[in-house]
A and B are shown apart, each in its own frame.
Chain A
Amino acid sequence: MATVELKNLRKTYLTEEIIKGISLSIEEHEFVVFVGPSGCGKSTLLRMIAGLEDITSGDLLIDGQRVNDVEPGKRGLAMVFQSYALYPHMNVYKNMEFGLKLSGMPEAERRAKIENVARTLQLEPYLNHKPGQLSGGQRQRVAIGRAIVRNPKVFLFDEPLSNLDAALRGQMRVELSALHRKLGATTIYVTHDQVEAMTMADKIVVLQKGVVEQIGSPLELYHHPRNLFVARFIGSPPMNFFSAIFQGGDAAGSSVQLRDGSTLYVPVTSPGLLPGTKVTVGIRPEHVELASSGPNSGVVEVIERLGAITLVHVRMPDGEIIVVQTDGAVLTDVNSPISLTLPPRNCHLFAPDGLAFEACHRHPLAA
């Protein structure tokens, strides 16, 4: 098992810089997830680590060795592609055997290894099948199996589950987590999927336009987003934002005035900020509470009932919409007036440059 370290990695296509200096260290056994909007450079970064894309500048270290110029096959990595990229002309057994054969492993050893992995992944009945004869989920398993047999130091995954249907995706997610626990291999995993990122990761790296926005554990990103981008990106449905005027702060919190004139005292520090500055307040839908009367009143515009929960979209007097996630059985109707309670301990404040004010108390799960 291995550590991976990225030191100011950059990648330029033509004149366009796609990866703009990314530094990151990944510990042994760690499961790291790259997330970010489409086109932000997740795949490119992963492929640079794999050796499939060239590194324009910066250093890539695996187990402390600089591997910028090492061939992909010699970096001790294995990769699972989004399209699986199985060798169509080889059967499942041969697909898994190919890398072992190239590395010169003796026949008997290869067979033992492949059979062992096939058993773990329940692929035994299909060893003689060609990829074309397998279902999507089975192909996915073969791709994972092909990676596992090589006993790599690091696993790389590029959106491995995105071609599966929802049910299978859920199942494979659990299997992959279990597999990771069992093998304990360092893993880098690219995904679009919030749930995959939150449930599987030890550490999430949020990327945007080739830049790291935040690195942290899933709950750290959830409870303490570093800036507006991360706050908006992590969590579903996304956080609500509205503007407010900063009034002043002390060591225990900062107070802001909302549009309707009410004030909110949020437990975050605001060193050096001038009163009167426009700030942004953010609060997640699951933290807003409904009340029948009180300040912050609006009108229910849309109700989405998902069974276990209900999403209530409330239009505020200033026209902004605030989404509230509440109980599945809540009794409200469209167009009825409603009031919102914003628990200050769950509110986030963002300065005009988008950076979050530091919370006075870290969330216990995100220490």
Chain B
Amino acid sequence: MQAVLEHSPPAGATARTTKRTGFLLLSPSVLILLVWSIVPLIMTLWYSLQNYNLVDPTLHGFAGIDNYWYLLTDPDFLHALLNTLVLVAGVLVISIGGATLLAVLYDQEFFGRGIARIMVISPFFIMPTVSALLWKNLMLHPIYGVYSAMMRAVGLTPIDWLARFPLMTVMMIVAWEWLPFAVLILLTAVQSLDGEQREAARMDGAGPIARFRYIILPHLGRAISVVVMIETIYLLTIFAEISVTTAGGPGVASTNLAYLIYSRALLQFDVGGASAGGVVAIVIANIVAIFLVRAVARNLEA
């Protein structure tokens, strides 16, 4: 595949038409995505250099790098940055680790497997606002939540999870939403492992653990790359779950970059500061993207 992707089209007449057709077919998507990614970026850059606060119109004019300076020296910023990375990494580890095991489990034949599988993937269809509300109120509410009731039933004192462990709790909620997606993809991958390969491993006397380690895991490499790629895209920008459950608090304990910028822009009406945050978020996203693309792209091709 590499070879085909990288050979440049030859330069004859029909090749030129092919090249032109290919370009023409591709260009609508490329153009609108270019506009979509460039125009707002330039505008954000521009605002980030301005004093621009919606509630204080007296404050205006060129700000230089003040907004950035203000942001980067703000301890909240570092905190939010760290929270973002913890969230992304934590959810990736939980969802991929869990999904790998679940994929092997739901690959086994058992009574009612079809229904059990549908139940497992269901959280993927639930909108983030709903799952956040669901967990915050029905499940984890310190008085009325089901989990609190269960803890009381076994003689423990219920914990106010969102107040005590805000980041971890948000992470669990998000992992609950994204685990099914990883299961969907990894299960398909496990099932595509052909019977002969497994039989051969069994003939070689490989036990279940060795089979998992040497046959199944290597086979899942590409599928895991896909999950990492897609989930990271979404996890970098988690917003609704935080907004609904903790509103970033207490303090900034569960504030990620997306939420920090949001609270600057819409809650403090500081367009300039929010834009500077936006630029920083974009830069960070790009750094992550470069690493991710480097690590994953090789796996995605071929």
Contacts and interface: CB of A to CB of B under 8 A. Distances in A.
Interface stretch (A10-18, A150-158, A174-182): A10-18
A11 B18 CA distance: 16
B12 A54 contact: yes
Contacts of A55: 12, 14
Interface in B1-34: 7-15, 18
A56 interface: yes
Contact of A13 (B10, B13, B18): B10
Interface residues of A, number: 11
Contacts of A13: 7, 10
A322 to B, nearest CB: 42
Interface string A36-65: 000000000000000100111100000000
Contact of B8 (A14, A56, A57, A69): A14
A68 B8 contact: no
Contacts of B7: 13-14
Contacts of B8: 14
B14 A51 contact: yes
Nearest to A57: B12
Give the interface SS of chain A, mostly helix, strand, loop or mixed.
loop
B2 to A, nearest CB: 13
A12 B10 CA distance: 7
6 contacts: A51-B14, A54-B10, A54-B12, A54-B14, A55-B12, A56-B11
Interface string B261-296: 000000000000000000000000000000000000
B14 A69 contact: yes
Contacts of B15: 54
Nearest to B8: A14
B116 to A, nearest CB: 32
A269 to B, nearest CB: 43
Contacts, number: 25
A157 to B, nearest CB: 22
Residue among B10, B11, B13, B18 with max Cβ neighbours from chain A (10 Å): B10
A320 B7 CA distance: 44
B10 A68 contact: no
A323 B7 CA distance: 44
Nearest to B11: A56
A68 B14 contact: yes
B12 to A, nearest CB: 4
B13 A69 contact: yes
A53 B13 CA distance: 11
A141 B18 CA distance: 31
Nearest to A51: B14
B8 to A, nearest CB: 6
* 3 tightest A-B CB contacts, nearest first: A54-B15, A54-B12, A54-B14
Interface in A47-102: 51, 54-57, 68-69
Interface string A305-326: 0000000000000000000000
A148 B18 CA distance: 28
A14 B7 CA distance: 6
Residue among B7, B14, B15 with max Cβ neighbours from chain A (10 Å): B14
A14 B18 CA distance: 16
B10 A56 contact: yes
Given A54-B10, A57-B12, A68-B14, 18 more contacts: A11-B10, A12-B10, A13-B10, A14-B7, A14-B8, A54-B9, A54-B12, A54-B13, A54-B14, A54-B18, A55-B12, A56-B10, A56-B11, A56-B12, A68-B12, A68-B13, A69-B13, A69-B14
Interface in A1-42: 11-14
B20 to A, nearest CB: 13
Residue among A11, A54, A68 with max Cβ neighbours from chain B (10 Å): A54
A7 to B, nearest CB: 15
A69 B13 CA distance: 6
B4 to A, nearest CB: 10
A21 to B, nearest CB: 15
A268 B158 CA distance: 105
Interface in B36-62: none
A1 B8 CA distance: 36
A56 B15 CA distance: 9
Nearest to A18: B10
